[in-house]
Structure 1
């Protein structure tokens, strides 16, 4: 499996299998200011090693201490850290607030202490490896646990999957595990090189569509998923969903327009197109002539990116990803 910066469960399993013990800490609730979202995780080894984070500072130190006790007795804990504005920076919060952390030591199947059975952890990791959306549910009263896939989930979890939102349902904490977000870039131009590199840092699984192999080739995009097909056919094969962003960069209507038409038929959460205001006006005229509705045209973000005065390819990529992130987190 490809290694990502958020392979926290995998690291916890590796420590457990190495015989040094491990625990998983998960942010389950926040109030006020908190630097990590609900669902953020920290793995702690029995030797004090850590991977990931649950805050931005000294909360980790306190969690590591609690984790050593949890690994020793095999019992889970719910921890709460609250601070005033004056004390916030000392515990890694930007300003006053509280966070609640679920701490689960990894235990053998036969353990009765309430810890996280290694078999359940392996189920989670198997689904992550397969790229299958899943939910891990743990009852914080009885400590019973289950893992369900999106297609087998309760009706009430559908909205959580759609919004990628972990949280409590009564006493049961629901941790949503969606596969990586996808970024599809049409046009293997210079901006695409910077765009994909930055998207890696944000955790996107990305690919480049361009029938022109002189643009999209292994020399220019080493190790990338390249599709040398016409954009409309390629996009239909990729089946973009509500966790997919699509950006067109070619400046060539013969390539961009079919891609946009295919993108508008999908549930992509973001569609962005490179080009000036004048270029976009001509694009809109062509799309209207092709029968695209005003609602469809309104889905297109163009000129591409937030207006930050971007000039270089890297700055344009940055502005595009900023706009894309705003659409992901706040909606269109």
Structure 2
């Protein structure tokens, strides 16, 4: 599954390798409302070719004008502030009172090592931090155990690269279709598995990988690391329990199971009867999702995504 970040980094690396000296522009700070989150990137060439985005288009146009007009020195990284006046906010389409701080750096051959490290981190599912020294323009990298948020200092930048959260949905029913739609919109990678080929054949959800096979094998192969989410949705213990038995013994960040409180109590009894350790069973979140009174598939999907959002935000504070 490709991401915009991967596309930007791959294109930037190719431009550097070709000697085309691309500019990498990154939102490093935002005050008030922002059209794109901190960490969003844009890579561009002086001829106007670009990939990525920082706003609805006006900030990108201004940056290109500055680059093409020679107003930006290519020697060292610098931070440009947007939104310093109501007139500029209106011109650039920024929310009233909003400010963007964009780091500009022209890259070259010396940046290939950190670009390669970032690409490897994303594709091989681990995290690295890039440390950029503004005084020298030199970037170094080091591995980190978990994702860290971008940190801007007076003379340096710390930026993390790594995989998206991967969501494995066990069961290809209507709820999985609604959940896949929301998860994709929120930038999760989504996989769907079912032992029943007929269910996969009837899939009417978004275009995501559909994996037929034994759920424990699928979990082991595709959703066993700390950047993985496993959610069982079939209501069939023969399928769900097999997936949960495997998932609860992995490093998966979140493991959830659909079902009522009564269904959950029976599931826990079965897991204990299978001699799964209590510390593993304690990782299970069931009934899955926040208790918002959801009934329909879409409402349940909203509850699940709300719980994931709450947990991820809590982990980042």
**TM superposition score normalised by structure 1:** 0.74
1:214 to 171, 185, 198: 198
2:240 to 215, 234, 256: 256
1:5 aligns with 2:4: yes
In structure 2, what is the Cα distance between the partners aligned to 1:316 and 1:125?
35
Give the stretch that moved more between structures: 268-277 or 50-59. 50-59
Which structure 2 residue ranges, 5 or more long, are not aligned? none
Partner deviation per Cα, 1:164-190 (whole Å, 9 max, x = no partner): 323247733222110222111112223
Aligned partner of residue 214 in structure 1, secondary structure: helix
In structure 2, what is the Cα distance between the partners aligned to 1:190 and 1:236?
25
1:27 aligns with 2:12: no
Give the stretch that moved more between structures: 291-300 or 36-45. 291-300
Residue in 2 that maps onto 1:228: 213
Which structure 1 residue ranges, 5 or more long, are not aligned? 110-115, 151-157
Tell me the C-alpha RMSD between the 2 structures. Answer: 3.8
1:188 aligns with 2:172: yes
**Displacement of 1:217 after TM fit?**
4.7
Aligned partner of residue 39 in structure 2, secondary structure: coil
In structure 2, what is the Cα distance between the partners aligned to 1:34 and 1:264?
38
1:145 to 129, 133, 139: 139
Report 1:286-325 matches (<5 A).
286-290=270-274, 299-307=283-291, 310-325=294-309
Residue pair 1:76, 1:102 contacting (<8 A) in 2 also: no
Residue in 2 that maps onto 1:112: none
Report 1:1-332 matches (<5 A).
3-6=2-5, 7-13=7-13, 22-31=22-31, 33-55=33-55, 58-68=58-68, 73-81=73-81, 83=83, 90=90, 91=92, 94=95, 96=97, 98-107=99-108, 109=109, 117=111, 120-121=114-115, 124-125=118-119, 128-131=122-125, 133-148=127-142, 150=143, 158=144, 161-168=145-152, 171-217=155-201, 224-229=209-214, 231-238=215-222, 240-290=224-274, 299-307=283-291, 310-331=294-315
Residue pair 2:114, 2:141 contacting (<8 A) in 1 also: yes
**TM superposition score normalised by structure 2:** 0.77
